[in-house]
Chain A
């Protein structure tokens, strides 16, 4: 990012601190929720949603993903698609198993 000036960086620093606080809050929240003894499917959903929010904050603000160039974003979109394929298709294959 050879174009950002020192002033812009100072504004970013404020954001970094706010993101850190948000991540701390979400960490406490996700641990807290785990003590609520939700049903497994709901617990998984909540945990993944919170993790996704935290991950998005890291990606967007620390890794500067917003406004990143096309070659990078499209490579990551492609990766995300294949990641989902790897996550779900073997699972479907296992669930659609013949026999017991």
Chain B
């Protein structure tokens, strides 16, 4: 059902036209803020990608001058264009930090969550619009701080994105920048999560009960609780680490630590594992923050492009809630090699195995949803379809890591890197790409080009597997992660070193295929085929019941919901879809 695409003129009469700054930079409109988050996050994703390219080149050709950009990196990082190990460590720590905290989560939650969620629940905006704006700018400042850290004395943080003590305590000043950057990012996250939870609970349109919510909204609700309750311990840990670095305390500094032959002049008595516990208490739920919005986006695209309701909606929702809860009690599976006893290891192995169950349930439900469907292979659907087996590989490769025994062999190897990249890269990022192709017409009134989209999809899909599958092989052979020379100096890795060059070549190819996306994204904004309807995908959820693009306040008349979110192909209905707000 198309809405009349006119703005509410009486509303516009009351307000004089806001300045360009208020409309596009310091806006409190969730759609503008969502786009701000999305564009900023995409830039950071590109930046993180570039850092990875430099690293992978070094791993493929250790000790050789980096072509083209080597001369610009400076003598402190790459004298004569040859990368120093210290610089490699900066690239590694910042690639992880940028991708997780500045790229994927801000896009998945800040971008998609902000833009789509209020529309899907029939709300005029978020519950706290000004707080929303503050969240974005806090994220922005945190991002700037992280980027500026590359220019600090000694360069950016170089103790891994995990910042383990005591190395991170004695590291160069970039680590302090990292900690301050994290404080801004965590603040942004906390303000945002309060906003999201209140909005979903309080601003649902009349008739929109919890069990009628689009699955995407459920994922944002659970994600909100994960961020709300898991981030603060990391914030307190960051404060403690700042105290250790700046005030000379020994929260994480053990007694008797000797560095370069000299005993450190600290009080000692601290515990490096305290940092690990506090860090992973956040960082494990964080990985669910990375995947849940992606599951939500995939669910929306699948229901729409199979012309069928999702299979097992209720089971999916309960699994989601159970998953969110369990995510708080599995964290020390990242710490199996820290000397934990058998009892506590057994506890974490057990909870980790249990948490795989709701994961499998949700993925299975998505697969089963395809059965009997009338599948439309639109560009978003290609990404959603590929997401499923790729996330499956990511999840399955996690199983050996969940047991402390195989983890003895696999911990800190390339197997781990292969595992989590499968989940985040051809997993989450594919879902995010799908979401962009899917919701682009609503936000801009134009479709992205299909041919460019398909080239982007197939090229990226092949390259993702070309990059990360060999890593699983290398890891099984015992190749360690975080080695600046790609483990060239170890005898046990000699047989798998050949893959380093393969991975680099696929990375270059993947970079080329992203150009198709970048060009498509910007070109289509101005020159893409205009949509002829407010609901070009013929979808059922409320975001398609607004004008295109939605005006300030979103809905011309406040919507009322009369049915569930996926009433596709209802027997006896006139069309093969019935929007949620269509009257009975």
Tell me the residues in window 76-100 of chain A with beta carbons closer than 8 Å to chain B beta carbons: 78-79, 82, 85-86, 89-90, 92-94, 96-99
Q: Is A71 an interface residue (CB 8 A)?
A: yes
A24: min CB distance to chain B, Å: 31
On whether the beta carbons of A96 and B233 are closer than 8 Å, the reply is no
Q: Is B273 an interface residue (CB 8 A)?
A: yes
Given contacts A82-B328, A85-B329, A89-B329, contact A94 B273 (CB under 8 A): yes
On whether the beta carbons of A93 and B281 are closer than 8 Å, the reply is no
Complex: how many Å from CA A25 to CA B116?
Answer: 53
| Chain B positions 332 through 346: 1 when the CB is less than 8 Å from some CB of chain A, otherwise 0 | 100100011111100
Chain A hits for B277, CB < 8 A: 90, 93
Tell me the residues in window 312-358 of chain B with beta carbons closer than 8 Å to chain A beta carbons: 325, 328-329, 332, 335, 339-344, 347
On whether the beta carbons of B281 and A86 are closer than 8 Å, the reply is yes
Chain B hits for A96, CB < 8 A: 340-344
B interface list, Cβ under 8 A from A: 201, 225, 229-230, 233, 271, 273-274, 277, 281, 325, 328-329, 332, 335, 339-344, 347
22 pairs, A vs B, C-beta closer than 8 Å: A78-B225, A78-B229, A79-B229, A82-B230, A86-B233, A86-B281, A89-B329, A89-B332, A90-B273, A90-B277, A92-B343, A92-B347, A93-B273, A93-B277, A93-B332, A93-B335, A93-B344, A96-B342, A96-B344, A97-B339, A98-B340, A99-B339
Complex: how many Å from CA A97 to CA B328?
Answer: 21
Complex: how many Å from CA A97 to CA B337?
Answer: 11
On whether the beta carbons of A97 and B341 are closer than 8 Å, the reply is yes
A26: min CB distance to chain B, Å: 28
The 10 nearest A-B residue pairs measured at CB = A96-B341, A90-B277, A96-B344, A93-B344, A98-B339, A96-B343, A82-B328, A82-B229, A98-B341, A93-B340
Q: Knowing that A86-B281, A93-B332 touch, tell me 19 more A-B residue pairs with CB under 8 angstroms.
A: A71-B201, A75-B225, A78-B229, A79-B229, A82-B229, A82-B230, A85-B329, A89-B332, A89-B344, A90-B273, A90-B274, A90-B277, A92-B343, A93-B340, A96-B340, A96-B341, A97-B340, A98-B339, A98-B340
A91: min CB distance to chain B, Å: 10
B480: min CB distance to chain A, Å: 23
Chain B hits for A98, CB < 8 A: 339-341
Chain B hits for A78, CB < 8 A: 225, 229, 325
Closest to B277 in A: A90
Complex: how many Å from CA A53 to CA B437?
Answer: 56
Chain B hits for A86, CB < 8 A: 233, 281
Closest to A71 in B: B201
B52: min CB distance to chain A, Å: 33
Chain B hits for A97, CB < 8 A: 339-341
| Chain A positions 35 through 47: 1 when the CB is less than 8 Å from some CB of chain B, otherwise 0 | 0000000000000
Complex: how many Å from CA A96 to CA B347?
Answer: 11
A2: min CB distance to chain B, Å: 15
Complex: how many Å from CA A82 to CA B232?
Answer: 12
A interface list, Cβ under 8 A from B: 71, 75, 78-79, 82, 85-86, 89-90, 92-94, 96-99
Chain A hits for B201, CB < 8 A: 71
Chain A hits for B341, CB < 8 A: 96-98
Closest to B331 in A: A89
Chain A hits for B273, CB < 8 A: 90, 93-94
Complex: how many Å from CA A61 to CA B201?
Answer: 26
The residue in A85, A93, A94, A97 that gathers the most chain B C-beta atoms within 10 A of its C-beta is A93
Chain B hits for A82, CB < 8 A: 229-230, 328
Chain B hits for A92, CB < 8 A: 343-344, 347
Complex: how many Å from CA A86 to CA B325?
Answer: 14
A100: min CB distance to chain B, Å: 10
Complex: how many Å from CA A90 to CA B344?
Answer: 9
Chain B hits for A71, CB < 8 A: 201
Closest to B285 in A: A82
Closest to A92 in B: B344
Complex: how many Å from CA A70 to CA B342?
Answer: 39
Closest to B281 in A: A86
Chain B hits for A79, CB < 8 A: 229
Closest to B280 in A: A90
B226: min CB distance to chain A, Å: 10
B283: min CB distance to chain A, Å: 14
Chain B hits for A85, CB < 8 A: 328-329
Closest to A93 in B: B344
Closest to B236 in A: A86
Closest to B340 in A: A93
Complex: how many Å from CA A78 to CA B228?
Answer: 11
Complex: how many Å from CA A93 to CA B404?
Answer: 14
Complex: how many Å from CA A52 to CA B534?
Answer: 56
Chain B hits for A75, CB < 8 A: 225
A77: min CB distance to chain B, Å: 12
Chain B hits for A90, CB < 8 A: 273-274, 277
Closest to B341 in A: A96
A80: min CB distance to chain B, Å: 11
Complex: how many Å from CA A94 to CA B335?
Answer: 12
Closest to A100 in B: B339
Complex: how many Å from CA A84 to CA B273?
Answer: 19
Complex: how many Å from CA A43 to CA B277?
Answer: 27
Chain A hits for B347, CB < 8 A: 89, 92
Complex: how many Å from CA A75 to CA B228?
Answer: 11
The residue in A79, A82, A90 that gathers the most chain B C-beta atoms within 10 A of its C-beta is A90
Complex: how many Å from CA A75 to CA B230?
Answer: 13
Complex: how many Å from CA A98 to CA B342?
Answer: 8
A95: min CB distance to chain B, Å: 8
Closest to A90 in B: B277
Complex: how many Å from CA A75 to CA B335?
Answer: 29
Chain A hits for B342, CB < 8 A: 96
Complex: how many Å from CA A89 to CA B328?
Answer: 11
A70: min CB distance to chain B, Å: 10
B423: min CB distance to chain A, Å: 24
Complex: how many Å from CA A94 to CA B347?
Answer: 14
A88: min CB distance to chain B, Å: 11
B77: min CB distance to chain A, Å: 37
